[in-house]
A and B are shown apart, each in its own frame.
Chain A
Amino acid sequence: MFQTNRRHLLAGAAALGASSFVGLPARAAIGEKKDKVKAAFVYVGPVGDYGYSFAHDQGRKYLEKELGDKVETNFVENVAEGPDAERVIRQLAQGGNDIVFTTSFGFMNPTLKVAKQFPKVAFDHATGYKTAANMGAYNSRFYQGRAVLGTIAGMMSKTGEGGYIASFPIPEVVMGINAFTLAARAKNPKFVTKVVWVNSWYDPAKEADATKALLSQGVDVISQHTDSPAPLQAAEQAGVIAFGQAWDMSKFAPKSHMTAIVDHWGPYYVDEVKKLLAGEWKPSDIWWGMKEDILEMAPFNDAMPEDVKKAAQDIVDRTKAGEYDVFTGPINNQAGEKKVADGEKIPDADLLKMDWYVEGVQS
């Protein structure tokens, strides 16, 4: 039976000609103008996670809304990182999509493999570091939002201790912890960030219990780099302030939710598809932030004092204007040694592989 199938397959493949084994529907090259673009999205989680994948899907909807009948979108959710991802991405490329957005770090190598086989399809991969002739990379400067959260935490915390629910010590997360701590210590030099690693992106019960552990150790601010609203809910119960992750989660904690870092991928997706329509798409390696409007803060909670609101808004405004960068020296490491000289900024290349913590982080 198996043998028959293989023969069948080989016959099929041969019939289609040896040159295009992976199947290339007739389509315009990347550099040509198009009347309509078909865009596909690959998500690592379910769109119902109300977190990371949800935010990307909101970006997809934004794209549809902005470009109307110039674009047609589709997505595949819950895609495991690895061969499954490679298969899905290839299937999307074969399915006549002009551009494929792969939205999780673990899709990087699969995207690269497929991109090489489909030179006429554009690929964009989120949060990675590899690019190719038809594969761009995009990322968001989440740490800019972390600096806003840190500012609020530094001003509102009475104990001077903040809790941080973290997933895995990858550069992205380390960067966030550092930005949060630096900004908080700018307002309260004695501020300490206590980090609890839950070793999971999504485990609501464990995230909630980690929050409770932090609360019992005296922290009165909760920040998180995991995907579920569970830490917010635990903070709400305890009556301390907290922040949403990836999306406005105020519904889950109306009193505690001060603000949230909202991943607002929509404008980037619109930009890429517009370029493709105009025949001007080129693989880019972008790392946008608040200035380019792909990262924004959810509305500040009314419970936030006026001076805190002002200070937080000030960080946002100055970040947008390019006048503020939280990773500006002097910065000490955990041992109190100076790592960054006064006025010097940490270069992007170093940020992207950050593996050390600033003074004030207890991890």
Chain B
Amino acid sequence: MMLAAPVIAVAATLIAGAILFTLLGHDGLGATLEIFVKPLFDPYRWQDLLVKAAPLAMIATGLAMGFRANVWNIGAEGQYILGGLAGTGVALSTLDMTGSWILPLMLICGVVGGMVWAAVPALLRTTLGVNEILSSLMLNYVAIQLLFYLMRGPWKDPEGFNFPQTAMFSADQTLPMVVPGTLIHLGVPLAAAVALTAFFVMARTVTGFQLKVVGLAPRAAAFGGFGAASTVWIAMLCGGGLAGLAGILEAAGPFGQMVPQFPTGYGYTAIIVAFLGRLNPLGILLAALVLALTYVGGESAQTTIGLPSAATGVFQAMMLFFLLAADILVRYRIVSGRAAAASAPHAAAAKEAEPAKGKAVTA
């Protein structure tokens, strides 16, 4: 049940993609094979997939916890940037020092940076009732400009030929590889650990129950003593903290410095990942790998069959379209029996549709 919609979506994407690209004059079948199948048979590509999937999975895990509670944080991109910046601030002020305490401090500051950025929409929502979708989206652009300002101004590498980027991080500030001789850095197992922890939190703890019940039935949650405000705070801080952690892990890992090109849309892609993974941490791990596959496979397809890079985006969008469409099949089977009872002529009826999805996941 849990896998039905994603499997249908991926299959439909493969078929529709093959047809679409054949119509556009490309080798449609070849394109789908190159993107979705060939990389899976190459052990080296698996390293790329894991490294690319790690930040997506981590951000999506945090977002999904909020989405389950109907808290729509779409500011992960900004929180990711702020996490990276906060950790970079530590790195730049400890460039001349050594010690094994530096990297953990960077990671902690990364988490805090993301949380601080997420606290703004949380505060606005809980005190003034500001829609968090809009406020968190706006903060993404503010974060990008803050990054640009720091890169071109105060944090510019004095020995970097005046190019807008920081100095390279030192060895003590860079993530170690967990499997020596490969590309698998510390962020990869951390992402897996985070997802597993989140799975446990959602399934077994009171906090997880609170997030789910607020999403499913806000009024029931209020009767049960779960405050709406505390739910918003938990959801936003989880999302922001994990996005911030993903940010500093990318900066201290694959980047090894901070550059203006740091944000590459992970915060937005992670929203797709969260939905593709059915808002379930384990599903998200799988979904992150599928999304990573579209990137990695898309690059292969460019070199082997000359498929334009724009094709990657089209595949990703189609996959999400099909997933959201396929959802209805699954959802109706779960909900139809209860719908009549649950739907009072009230907004709660409308909200019912969302949580039903969450229900399908844990079912």
Contacts and interface: CB of A to CB of B under 8 A. Distances in A.
Interface of A: 1-3, 5-6, 8-10, 12-13, 15-16, 18, 21-23, 40, 46, 74-84, 86-88, 90-92, 94-95, 105-106, 109, 129, 168-171, 174, 199, 352-355
A174 B162 CA distance: 10
A166 B286 CA distance: 44
A231 to B, nearest CB: 22
Interface string B260-296: 0110100000000000000000100110010000011
B164 interface: yes
Contacts, number: 116
Interface string B27-70: 00000000000000001111110111000000000000000000
B192 interface: yes
Given A78-B309, A87-B296, A171 B262 contact: no
B84 to A, nearest CB: 11
Interface in B229-269: 250, 253-257, 259, 261-262, 264
Given A13-B182, A75-B302, A1 B309 contact: no
Interface in B299-354: 299-300, 302-304, 306, 308-310
A15 B46 CA distance: 14
Contact of B192 (A2, A79, A91): A2
B168 interface: yes
A9 B148 CA distance: 38
Contact of B181 (A18, A169, A352, A354): A18
A21 B177 CA distance: 13
- B interface, size bucket: 35 or more
Given A9-B50, A23-B44, A199-B148, A81 B261 contact: yes
Contact of A95 (B51, B52, B286, B303): B303
Nearest to A45: B309
B311 to A, nearest CB: 11
14 contacts: A1-B282, A2-B195, A2-B286, A13-B43, A13-B179, A77-B309, A84-B295, A90-B48, A92-B303, A106-B261, A109-B256, A174-B162, A353-B161, A355-B162
Nearest to A85: B261
From A6, A15, A82, A168, residue with most partner B Cβ within 10 Å: A82
A76 B256 CA distance: 23
Contacts of B161: 129, 170-171, 352-353
A83 B51 contact: yes
A24 to B, nearest CB: 10
Contacts of B308: 46, 77
B264 A82 contact: yes
Given A74-B303, A82-B262, A353-B162, A109 B257 contact: yes
Given A83-B250, A170-B162, A353-B162, A88 B47 contact: no
Given A46-B309, A91-B48, A83 B182 contact: no
Contacts of B192: 2-3
Interface in B143-190: 148, 152, 161-164, 168, 179, 181-184
